[in-house]
Structure 1
Amino acid sequence: MCRNIRVLHNFEPPATDDEIEAAAIQYVRKVSGATLPSAANEEAFDEAVRVVTAATRTLLDSLVTKAPPRDREVEAAKAKARAAERYGPRGSTSA
């Protein structure tokens, strides 16, 4: 239904408003069980996304860490390496 929600804290540059809203949409989709709300539920869905987006921004702005900021490209490379180890290289087929 939706991709995993990604860690947004402690990156340089910080998470963008678009990334935070995308995470909120993913969360609301998962909780509601719907990728797209019906017309009857669209207003409630949109309000939930707005509230979760605001709460996520408040959380990210309030968190404190002593760890150095993570690099998005380095973290993406680590995730690809973990996936390749777990699932094998892309495009390979087993007989």
Structure 2
Amino acid sequence: MCRNIRTLYNFAPPAAGDEVHAASLQYVRKVSGFTKPSQANQEAFDRAVAQVAATTQELLDSLVTNAPPKDREVEAAKARRRAQARYTITAA
């Protein structure tokens, strides 16, 4: 369920609000055990997502590093290569 949570820090361009929201949604889903909460829990669920997103954005805004920002396209290409190597089936 949490496979969509990606590292959001130190990328060029910086993480967008929708990326922070998506990561927050995945986190709250994992912690609550709900992929879609009931109507009775929807308000609490949405509030938790908003609070986690705000705290995550605050964290990302306050972190500092001397490392150069990573390029999103380069990192995505690396991830695709790792996935291809992991899921490639070799004939025996």
Would the TM-score normalized by the shorter structure come out above 0.5? yes
CA distance in structure 2 between the partners assigned to 1:23 and 1:81 by the alignment: 23
1:62-82 CA deviation, whole Å, 9 max, x = no partner? 100111000000000000111
Report the Cα offset of residue 94 of structure 1: 5.9
- Structure 2 gaps, min length 5: none
TM-score, normalised to structure 1, is: 0.89
Q: Which residue matches 2:39? A: 39
TM-score, normalised to structure 2, is: 0.92
- Structure 1 gaps, min length 5: none
Report the Cα offset of residue 34 of structure 1: 0.8
Q: Which residue matches 1:67? A: 67
Q: Which residue matches 1:49? A: 49
- Name the amino acid aligned to 1:26: Q
- Name the amino acid aligned to 2:75: E
- Name the amino acid aligned to 1:23: A
Report the Cα offset of residue 2 of structure 1: 4.7
Q: Which residue matches 1:22? A: 22
Cα RMSD (Å): 1.6
- The structure with more helix, counted as a fraction of residues: 2
* Structure 2 residue 10 is matched with structure 1 residue 10: yes
**Number of aligned residue pairs:** 92
